């Protein structure tokens, strides 16, 4: 019983105060003339029914984590191609196919080429001459230096033809010819290409092996243009192998991203160390890219209504009035949209229920257009309702014509210098 009496007294108090707040309501009605076309008034009950939610706009820096997919690729600067500068025949191969891990200087195959015989003979003869000159002690230093240059020249010839360093040193020690030339791995890595088989004839310049050093790899990430431009070189990126639960740290390369015409994206290159060789070419990995953006005004993406021709946000003007505000948008990340123009920090905007408010706003604009009551304010250029401006006494007659204004300030400026705002 006491609760019911309290409720009745509370309602009576509100009704008793109704006359006190009436002037405030009249003032809000008078300010309605300053609202642009399409502004609507919605009661609190209706706002609750359609689920209107409002938030305040702030300007602050933003940091996002962009999660995307990356593809592992061999470092192009660490791929070694083995080819021979002469024609020949493969004599023997070892069990090192594609995908095999080989060590530096490990034997891969051997081949025969008659062009090596003359080069080996010249090299061994030059070594013998150098030894005789050094032992005799009668040769001039110039003659010895010339012979040493000949030895180095023949040694370089063998290497250019395709003989390995260790085999050349072994020949210099034994002073014996060799028919089979060894093909050795130039670096520790994985065989990613092999084009040899026993007895096969190869031609000069043909690629026999391709070996990739996977101690460091590339990770290629497809990103849209607005995302890639906010990722400077040197940025640290986290790479994850989800099934093996391995996490790697990668760095954005200083090489400019390449544009892919098929996917319409930019391919950003990351470089990562690969201990244990867990990352293999063509593997897919999860990439977490930190995006740091400068201070900007942002709103939830649902707050912006995009009609294709313009983007609109509804601003809360108080007393249940909502104003449609055209905005210019920028970047978009994680359901947040940058507002370049149209909003200021402190503005209160609608983030939920704006579709229903937009429908009522469109009806308001249509009705105002049919009644031909939208007139341009000569001072600020904003369109104003002549009916609302006249009700608020914001009109001035000049040279036989009536001018309407959105605010008292515009009206006072016009009264001071009417000729400034009215063309003949």
Q: Which residue has the higher pLDDT, 320 or 285?
A: 285
- Residue 138 sits in the same domain as residue 186: yes
* Residue % of the chain over a pLDDT of 90: 17
- Domain presence at residue 350: no
Beta-carbon contacts of 186 under 8 Å, excluding residues fewer than 6 positions away, are 80, 82, 104, 211
Q: Which residue has the higher pLDDT, 7 or 133?
A: 133
Given this model, what pLDDT does residue 34 score?
A: 60
pTM of this structure: 0.60
Residue 60 has pLDDT above 90, yes or no: no
Given this model, what pLDDT does residue 73 score?
A: 92
- Residue 178 sits in the same domain as residue 219: no
Q: Which residue has the higher pLDDT, 273 or 264?
A: 273
- Domain presence at residue 383: no
- Residue 276 sits in the same domain as residue 219: yes
- Residue 109 sits in the same domain as residue 236: no
- Residue 154 sits in the same domain as residue 270: no
- Residue 207 sits in the same domain as residue 80: yes
CATH code assigned at 239: 2.40.30.170
Domain end among 275, 294, 313: 294
* pLDDT band with cut points at 50, 70 and 90 for residue 373: low
Given this model, what pLDDT does residue 258 score?
A: 78
Domain end among 153, 187, 212: 212
pLDDT averaged over the chain? 81
- Residue 86 sits in the same domain as residue 186: yes
Tell how far CA 360 is from the center of its chain.
Answer: 39
Residue 15 has pLDDT above 50, yes or no: no
CATH code assigned at 85: 2.40.50.100
Averaged pLDDT for residues 173-182: 87
Residue 5 has pLDDT above 80, yes or no: no
Given this model, what pLDDT does residue 424 score?
A: 47
Q: How far is CA 318 from CA 57, 105, 315, 407, in A?
A: 15, 80, 9, 16
Q: How many domains does the chain have?
A: 2
- Residue 252 sits in the same domain as residue 186: no
Three state DSSP letters for 65-128: EEEEEEEEEECHHHEEEEECCCCEEEEEECCCCCCCEECCCCEEEEEECCHHHHHHHHHHHHHH
Residue 137 has pLDDT above 80, yes or no: no
- Residue 70 sits in the same domain as residue 80: no
Q: Find the domain containing 288 and state its range.
A: 65-75+214-294
Domain end among 179, 212, 245: 212
- Domain presence at residue 380: no
- Residue 196 sits in the same domain as residue 239: no
* pLDDT band with cut points at 50, 70 and 90 for residue 257: confident
- Residue 132 sits in the same domain as residue 208: yes
């Amino acid at each position: 019983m006491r609760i019911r009496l309290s409720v009745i007294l509370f309602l009576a108090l509100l009704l008793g105060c109704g006359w006190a707040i009436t002037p405030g309501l009249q003032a809000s009605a008078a300010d309605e003339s300053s609202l642009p076309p399409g502004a609507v008034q919605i009661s609190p009950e209706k706002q609750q029914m359609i689920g209107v939610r409002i938030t305040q706009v702030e300007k602050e820096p933003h940091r996002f984590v962009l999660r995307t997919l990356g593809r592992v690729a061999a470092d192009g600067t660490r791929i070694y191609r083995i080819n021979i500068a002469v024609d020949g025949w493969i004599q023997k191969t070892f069990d090192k196919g594609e995908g095999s891990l080989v060590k530096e200087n490990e034997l891969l195959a051997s081949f025969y080429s008659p062009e090596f015989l003359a080069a080996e003979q010249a090299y061994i003869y030059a070594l013998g001459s150098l030894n005789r000159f050094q032992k005799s002690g009668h040769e001039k230093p110039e003659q010895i230096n010339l012979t040493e240059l000949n030895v180095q020249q023949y040694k370089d010839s063998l290497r250019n033809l395709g003989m390995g360093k260790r085999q050349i040193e072994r020949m210099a020690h034994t002073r014996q010819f060799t028919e089979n030339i060894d093909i050795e791995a130039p670096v520790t890595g994985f065989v990613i290409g092999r084009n040899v088989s026993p007895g096969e004839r190869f031609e000069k310049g043909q690629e026999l092996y391709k070996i990739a050093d996977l101690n460091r790899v590339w990770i290629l990430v497809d990103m849209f243009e607005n995302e890639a431009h906010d990722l400077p070189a040197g940025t640290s990126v986290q790479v994850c192998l989800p099934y093996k639960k391995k996490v790697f740290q990668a760095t954005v390369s200083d090489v400019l991203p390449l544009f892919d015409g098929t996917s319409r994206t930019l391919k950003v290159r990351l470089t990562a160390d690969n201990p244990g060789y867990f990352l293999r070419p063509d593997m897919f990995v999860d990439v977490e890219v930190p995006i740091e953006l400068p201070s900007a005004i942002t709103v939830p993406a649902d707050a912006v209504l995009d009609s294709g021709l313009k983007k609109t946000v509804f601003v809360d003007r108080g007393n249940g009035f909502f104003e449609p505000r055209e905005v210019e948008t920028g970047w978009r990340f994680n359901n947040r949209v940058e507002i370049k123009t149209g909003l200021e920090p402190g503005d209160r905007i609608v983030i939920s229920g704006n579709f229903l408010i937009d429908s009522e706003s469109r009806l308001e604009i249509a009705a105002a257009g049919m009644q031909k009551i939208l007139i341009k304010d000569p001072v600020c250029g904003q369109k104003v309702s002549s009916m609302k401006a006249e009700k608020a006494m914001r009109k001035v007659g000049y040279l036989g014509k009536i001018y309407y204004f959105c605010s008292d300030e515009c009206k006072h400026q016009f009264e001071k210098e009417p000729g400034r705002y009215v063309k003949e």
